[in-house]
């Protein structure tokens, strides 16, 4: 049976390290007469081992120290020993080696030190010989003690606990600084999905103009998917915090925070990061609000056989919607509708136009085709007709460039679809995961486009607000919310739309139709300012931080 000691061999300035084993020499030699044991010394000085340890009356071996060696020899060990000379240097050592051993299922016999008192009832801190006898003679008891010690160690020294100690320390120090106190956030804006940024930034800027301090809390997954988020926040000098997607259980809200705002929050899986933070904020007495995050917003304006509007719920105490109540789904529960406040769409109608000169010949007209075909609302027939329509356009209009933009989350055409893709010299599929296209959002692409064809999505509204001709691929779907935009249902509808978009008379008619659609779909005016003005009146602190 294996008894393991591991650690630094020591140093001249203090009594610690490998020679600590001499403190329990009698116990080691006595237990070697009673049990078939081997002492394994994992350290970084073979000569010290040969001169001081090898001569003990117990079978032993030396192993050169490395993290892998420690892991390898702890596996299956009967007991780990952590003796201590208790001199002024050594007595303050941490519980690290003991914690490492017990988390690997190995019970520990150690010298009592202050750092081990919290583990006193599940590691042996008494006379070493009795501890060695107990664990060598009853492996089941040793395993039980190790498991209990590992659980206690997680409670006392785990990452969540350490993070909390650091947070408390830094907060207590920084809170003494007037400069820090003046910049603690009043409002937290939660960002989790790629499309959240364009909706959040105008509201954050409007809140700032109201005299409120805002901080963005961003999920790690968002930062991985869209490096643009970090760039935009830094360019605008916006405070932000990056959080692990699962790190929402023990979040501590800064003292001045009174509002938590999300861009998208429901009980559905893609919104779980924002949902957990919303629930936690409500439990802490904060005011929680959210926004309509898309024209097709499940639970508000949209319902299907899987995500019926009555099964999707939102916990936010206020929901800022883009359109008037008439644009909400007819079956929306009264409890949700009663929390809705129509304000308009905070996302700007115009974005800087993406420079695509290195990707598309600047002389060519470009029709944008936006697909979001991963949704369960589309059947195979719809998808097949969509791909056939794209191919037909590329063939029918060789003088036009067709830019296919897959949805940045769905990625159906670039990742999920395994069949043959449309292919033509005047057809480009812009993969959102490629470096060339990731930084170009749908909104930024619109300024380069002559017209837009899209599956039912917010893109239709964005393009119409931009004053572009827009058509929606309807297939067999009923799409009353998109009236009076032209709907593509038959093969000839594809070519009819492009022909009209490319001539002056037809184009002007389509642009007028887009304007009518926008007027019906949106509350007009500055939505971001409306939201900011509303939040500035909510209880807690006023814009200067004084209690109301």
User: Which pLDDT tens digit goes with each residue over 176-196?
Assistant: 655 555 568 999 999 999 889
Is 228 exposed, middle or buried (CB count within 10 Å of its CB: 0-12, 13-18, 19+)? middle
Could you tell me which residue, 356 or 449, shows the higher pLDDT? 449
Residue range 469-509, pLDDT digits in tens: 999 999 888 888 899 999 999 999 999 999 999 999 999 99
Is 539 within the bounds of a domain? no
> Residue 317 sits in a domain of what CATH number?
3.40.50
DSSP 53: T
**Residues 330, 374 within the same domain:** no
Count CB-CB contacts under 10 A for residue 2: 18
Is 223 within the bounds of a domain? yes
Is 169 within the bounds of a domain? no
pTM: 0.64
Overall average pLDDT of the 288-317 stretch: 89
Provide the domain count of the chain: 3
**Residues 84, 213 within the same domain:** no
**Residues 133, 247 within the same domain:** no
**Residues 514, 376 within the same domain:** yes
**Confidence band (pLDDT; 50, 70, 90) for 438?**
low
pLDDT at 541 over 50: no
**Residues 198, 328 within the same domain:** yes
pLDDT at 9 over 80: yes
Q: Supply the pLDDT for residue 362.
A: 84
Is 430 within the bounds of a domain? yes
Overall average pLDDT of the 42-52 stretch: 95
What is the distance between the alpha carbons of residues 27 and 185, in angstroms, rounded to a whole number? 59
Query: What does the radius of gyration of the chain's CA atoms come to, in whole angstroms?
Result: 33
What is the distance between the alpha carbons of residues 317 and 290, in angstroms, rounded to a whole number? 8
Cis peptide bond upstream of 484, omega within 30: yes
Nearest CA to 364 out of 425, 430, 434 is that of: 425
Q: Supply the pLDDT for residue 430.
A: 78
Comparing 237-246, 283-292, 533-542, which segment has the lowest mean pLDDT?
A: 533-542
**Residues 133, 221 within the same domain:** no
Q: Supply the pLDDT for residue 254.
A: 87
Overall average pLDDT of the 387-401 stretch: 91
Is 171 within the bounds of a domain? no
Range of the structural domain that residue 301 is part of: 182-342
Tokens encoding 105: 């299922």
**Residues 336, 370 within the same domain:** no
Question: Is the CB of residue 196 less than 8 Å from the CB of residue 228?
Answer: no
**Residues 150, 204 within the same domain:** no
**Confidence band (pLDDT; 50, 70, 90) for 413?**
low
pLDDT at 543 over 50: no
pLDDT at 544 over 50: no
Domain final residue pick, 100, 122, 157: 157
Question: Is the CB of residue 202 less than 8 Å from the CB of residue 224?
Answer: no
* Sequence-separated (6 or more) residues with CB below 8 Å from residue 395: 424
Nearest CA to 460 out of 441, 439, 481, 436 is that of: 481
Any long-range contacts for 44-52 (C-beta under 8 Å, 24+ apart)?
44/8, 44/9, 45/9, 45/10, 45/18, 48/9, 48/10, 48/18, 48/19, 49/9, 49/18, 52/18, 52/19, 52/22
Q: Supply the pLDDT for residue 56.
A: 97
Is 544 within the bounds of a domain? no
pLDDT at 356 over 60: yes
**Residues 67, 35 within the same domain:** yes
> Residue 68 sits in a domain of what CATH number?
3.40.50.2000
pLDDT at 540 over 50: no
> How many C-alpha atoms does 431 have within 13 Å on its Cβ side?
8
Q: Supply the pLDDT for residue 547.
A: 33
Q: What does pLDDT average to over the chain?
A: 88
Residue range 115-141, pLDDT digits in tens: 999 999 999 998 999 999 999 999 999
Question: Is the CB of residue 522 less than 8 Å from the CB of residue 323?
Answer: yes
Count CB-CB contacts under 10 A for residue 104: 17
Q: Supply the pLDDT for residue 537.
A: 86
Is 427 within the bounds of a domain? yes
**Residues 142, 75 within the same domain:** yes
Measured CA to CA in angstroms, residue 495 lies from 236, 398, 499, 502 at distances of 43, 12, 6, 11
**Residues 140, 90 within the same domain:** yes
Overall average pLDDT of the 270-274 stretch: 91
Is 529 within the bounds of a domain? no
Percent of the chain residues topping a pLDDT of 90: 59
Comparing 236-250, 364-378, 422-436, which segment has the lowest mean pLDDT?
A: 422-436
Overall average pLDDT of the 240-262 stretch: 85
**Residues 196, 97 within the same domain:** no
Residue range 323-351, pLDDT digits in tens: 999 999 999 999 999 999 999 999 988 77
């Amino acid at each position: 049976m294996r008894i393991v000691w591991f650690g630094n061999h020591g140093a001249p300035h203090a009594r610690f390290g490998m020679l600590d084993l001499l403190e329990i020499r009698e116990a080691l030699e006595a237990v070697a007469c009673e049990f078939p044991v081997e002492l394994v010394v994992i350290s970084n000085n073979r000569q010290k081992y040969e001169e001081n340890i090898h001569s003990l009356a117990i079978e032993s071996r030396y192993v050169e120290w490395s993290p892998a060696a420690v892991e390898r020899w702890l596996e299956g060990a009967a007991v780990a020993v952590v003796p201590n000379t208790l001199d002024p240097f050594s007595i303050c050592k941490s519980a690290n080696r003991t914690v490492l051993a017990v988390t690997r299922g190995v019970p520990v016999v150690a010298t009592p030190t202050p750092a081990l008192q919290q583990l006193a009832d599940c590691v042996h801190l008494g006379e070493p010989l009795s501890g060695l006898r107990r664990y060598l003679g009853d492996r089941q008891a040793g395993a039980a003690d190790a498991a209990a010690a590992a659980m206690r160690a997680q409670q006392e020294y785990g990452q969540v606990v350490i993070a909390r100690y650091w947070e408390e320390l830094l907060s207590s120090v920084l809170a003494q600084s007037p400069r820090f106190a003046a910049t603690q956030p009043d409002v937290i804006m939660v960002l989790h999905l790629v499309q959240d940024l364009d909706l959040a930034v105008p509201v954050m800027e409007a809140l700032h103009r109201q005299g409120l301090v805002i901080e963005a809390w961003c999920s790690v997954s968002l930062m991985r998917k869209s490096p643009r988020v970090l760039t935009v926040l830094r360019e605008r000098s916006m405070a932000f915090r990056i959080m692990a997607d699962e790190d929402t259980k023990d979040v501590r809200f800064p003292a001045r925070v009174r509002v938590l705002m999300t861009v998208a929050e429901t009980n559905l899986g893609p919104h779980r990061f924002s949902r957990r933070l919303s629930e936690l904020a409500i439990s802490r007495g904060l005011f929680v609000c959210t926004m309509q995050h898309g024209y097709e917003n499940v639970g508000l304006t949209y319902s299907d056989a899987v995500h019926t509007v009555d099964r999707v719920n939102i916990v936010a105490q206020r929901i800022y919607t883009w359109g008037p109540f008439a644009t909400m789904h007819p079956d929306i529960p009264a409890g949700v509708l009663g929390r809705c406040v129509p304000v308009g769409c905070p996302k700007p109608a115009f974005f800087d136009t993406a420079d695509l000169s290195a990707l598309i010949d600047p002389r060519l007209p470009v029709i944008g085709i936006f697909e979001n075909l991963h949704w369960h609302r589309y059947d195979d027939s719809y998808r097949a007709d969509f791909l056939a329509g794209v191919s037909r356009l590329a063939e029918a209009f060789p003088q036009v460039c067709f830019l296919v933009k897959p949805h940045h989350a769905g990625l159906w055409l670039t990742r999920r679809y395994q069949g043959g893709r449309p292919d033509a010299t005047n057809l480009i599929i812009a993969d959102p995961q490629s470096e060339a296209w990731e930084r170009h959002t749908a909104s930024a692409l619109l300024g380069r486009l002559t017209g837009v064809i899209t599956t039912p999505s917010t893109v239709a509204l964005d393009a119409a607000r931009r004053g572009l001709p827009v058509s929606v691929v309807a297939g067999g779907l009923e799409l009353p919310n998109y009236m009076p935009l032209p709907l593509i249902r038959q093969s000839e509808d594809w070519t009819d739309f492009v022909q009209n978009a490319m001539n002056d008379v037809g184009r002007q008619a389509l642009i007028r139709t887009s304007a009518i659609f926008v007027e019906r779909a949106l509350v007009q005016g500055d939505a971001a300012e409306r939201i900011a003005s509303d939040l500035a009146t909510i209880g807690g602190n006023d814009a200067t931080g004084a209690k109301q």
